[in-house]
Structure 1
Amino acid sequence: MAISRLGVWDHAGWAGFRDPEVLAELERLGYGTVWLGGSPPADLSTTEPTLAASTSLVVATGIVNVWEAEPAAAGSAYQRVAAAYPDRFLLGIGVGHRPLVGDRYTKPYDKLVSYLDGLDEAGVPVSNRVLAALGPKVLGLARDRTAGAHPYFTTPEHTAQAREIVGEGKLVVPEQKVVLATDPVEARALARKALNFYLSLPNYTNNWLRLGFSESDLADGGSDRLVDALITWGDEDTIRERVEAHLAAGADQVALQVLNEDKLSVLRSLAPALV
């Protein structure tokens, strides 16, 4: 499966992911993969409209939550989709977050291991699945049991750490939030709106602390330092520099999540600088 250096990440419900004209333009612009985010269902019903409406895009899930369905169900759905669209579907799975999962969230690493065992039994090839991974232990699991890692809401410094752990020959595909705006007040307002929800999720906050941020950076909607490190904003060249930093750190692909309201317009504006 060919993975280009640029992808687009957005919630699976974004209308553009079901619009043949939008998808055709993304293909022409050079975005090779679309990541369907927001914990798409394990029956993979959200993937088929996007695959059917496009011709060459790789479609990936970012990510199927392992607590929401048994691996046999996800494996069966994978077989259906992969048979219809060979070499165009990548199954991303992840453990989600305790505040959202509730009491079922026990021994998450063990859950991932057993889920991957179940995907093996269902015939899902290692080469066509990736793991949402932030900490060293889960990055190691991504290396050993999947095609690689899909870190979310991280920095180029984390990308370098991920590459060191997973080694060569495995995918590292970080998601990167972007705001095409040069006014600091406007840009950081959009960035903080996106950041606010994630400040309540320990999987992310613990990762940011490991990266050298402090508890004070996480307070009151996030410091400017945290916002600017996690969400790149500015003109096309500024955003290009962040993407290049991820690639230089070892990313195979950077999955852009546009926070501006007119997502397609931004992706259109960024393409000449990025592709």
Structure 2
Amino acid sequence: MSRWGMTIPMARVPLAEHREIVAGLADLGYTDVWTAETNGADAFTPLALASQWAPDLRLGPAIVPVYTRGPALLAQHAATLADLAPGRFVLGIGTSSETIVRGWNGIAFDEPYKRARDTLRFLRRALAGEKVTEEYDTFSVKGFKLDKAPDVPPPIVLAALRPGMLRLAAREADGAITNWLAPADVPKVRAVLGDEPELIARLFVCPTADPEEARAVGRWMIAAYLTVPVYRAFHEWLGRGEALAPMNEAWAAGDRKKALELIPDEVVDDLLVHGPPDKCRERVREYVDSGLTTPILAVMPGGGLSPAEAVRALAPGA
């Protein structure tokens, strides 16, 4: 069986109330828990809790931005999680977006490819216990050494949406993380990444038998994500540029309502996993059959299910 991950924290569940859900994931057939970092919980704190609540699960952030922490602090965070969960922690890093980096944190979003590459190279050395003094293209480090390097250095996986980052992930990382794609898109990503590296994707899942309920959820999310330049370029590469052009034009003109209306049903159905839970599980398996190594489910409200009920209903063995 492939890996089968769950995103935490879950919507509408306070972090302190996740213990029972997380502790039961392995018994339901889940293998992983993964976080994200946008404008909610930070990526590392939920994983620190999960490392103690669920000693059999693999843990990872998908992703932490390479700009919003200094390289040494990022290494410290990773070393802490690797110490809490030896052999079970995977570090997912990526450039994030200009909105998060520049707009929310006031940090220049310059040379993202080089920043990701430089951070990856620094982390390899730091997490192996080396003392690092290096002038990288996008930052410099002078004499940093972890007080206690992890006994098991964590694998590092790289957020990659297009060929340049995918090739970097194939050359220097232990895998790639992608997002917002359909099963039919996976072979195109695999063709660049190669067959061997782990390929991880967060899949947004709305377990409802009402397609209009799901599409209403999906349209808001697609508009929020796919108007961001990196995602817009990703879907142009995947071949959805023409289908999404009306949405992007309306969004750029400030007409949010019109932008939502202009997203075709077919695009929503391609990118959002929805339907009764058994159909959702079948759809997730389509991704795996197409070449995805690790699906990470992100449960959206729908179908009248509580988050805990949705976790049970979407479990691989349900």
TM-score relative to the length of structure 2? 0.78
Aligned to 2:201: 174
Contact 2:9-2:18 at 8 Å conserved across structures = no
Contact 1:134-1:151 at 8 Å conserved across structures = yes
Aligned to 2:136: none
Cα separation, 2, equivalents of 1:126 and 1:192: 40
Aligned to 1:232: 273
Residue pairs, 1:64-79, within 5 angstroms:
64-79=64-79
Q: Are residue 109 (structure 1) and residue 113 (structure 2) matched? A: yes
Contact 1:159-1:172 at 8 Å conserved across structures = no
Q: Are residue 265 (structure 1) and residue 264 (structure 2) matched? A: no
Aligned to 1:24: 23
Contact 2:33-2:57 at 8 Å conserved across structures = yes
How big is each residue's C-alpha offset from its partner over 1:198-217, in whole Å with a ceiling of 9 and x where there is no partner?
Answer: 13311112111221113443
**Cα 1:249–1:127 shift into 2, 3 Å:** farther
Q: Structure 1: where are the runs of 5+ without partners? A: none
How big is each residue's C-alpha offset from its partner over 1:11-47, in whole Å with a ceiling of 9 and x where there is no partner?
Answer: 58853686331112211111110111124657x3442
How big is each residue's C-alpha offset from its partner over 1:38-79, in whole Å with a ceiling of 9 and x where there is no partner?
Answer: 24657x344211211212111110111001012221112222
TM-score relative to the length of structure 1? 0.89
Residue pairs, 1:88-237, within 5 angstroms:
88-102=88-102, 104-123=108-127, 128-218=155-245, 219=247, 220-221=259-260, 222-237=263-278
How big is each residue's C-alpha offset from its partner over 1:175-213, in whole Å with a ceiling of 9 and x where there is no partner?
Answer: 111111121211111222322311331111211122111
| Alignment RMSD (CA, Å) | 2.4
Q: Tell me how many residue pairs correspond in the alignment.
A: 271
- The CA deviation at 1:92 is 0.5
Aligned to 2:252: none
Counterpart of 1:246, as a letter, is: Y
**Cα 1:68–1:164 shift into 2, 3 Å:** same
Contact 1:4-1:33 at 8 Å conserved across structures = no
Match of 1:5 among 3, 6, 12: 3
Cα separation, 1, equivalents of 2:8 and 2:215: 19
How big is each residue's C-alpha offset from its partner over 1:224-274, in whole Å with a ceiling of 9 and x where there is no partner?
Answer: 1211111021123321232122111111111111112622211211225x5
Counterpart of 2:206, as a letter, is: V
How big is each residue's C-alpha offset from its partner over 1:104-156, in whole Å with a ceiling of 9 and x where there is no partner?
Answer: 11111011111112102212588611111110110111111111011011222
SS for the counterpart of 1:150 is: strand
Aligned to 2:35: 36
Counterpart of 1:6, as a letter, is: W
Q: Structure 2: where are the runs of 5+ without partners? A: 129-151, 248-258
**Cα 1:237–1:165 shift into 2, 3 Å:** same
Larger Rg: 2
Identity of aligned residues (%): 29
- Runs of 4+ with deviation above 3 angstroms: 10-18, 39-42, 124-127
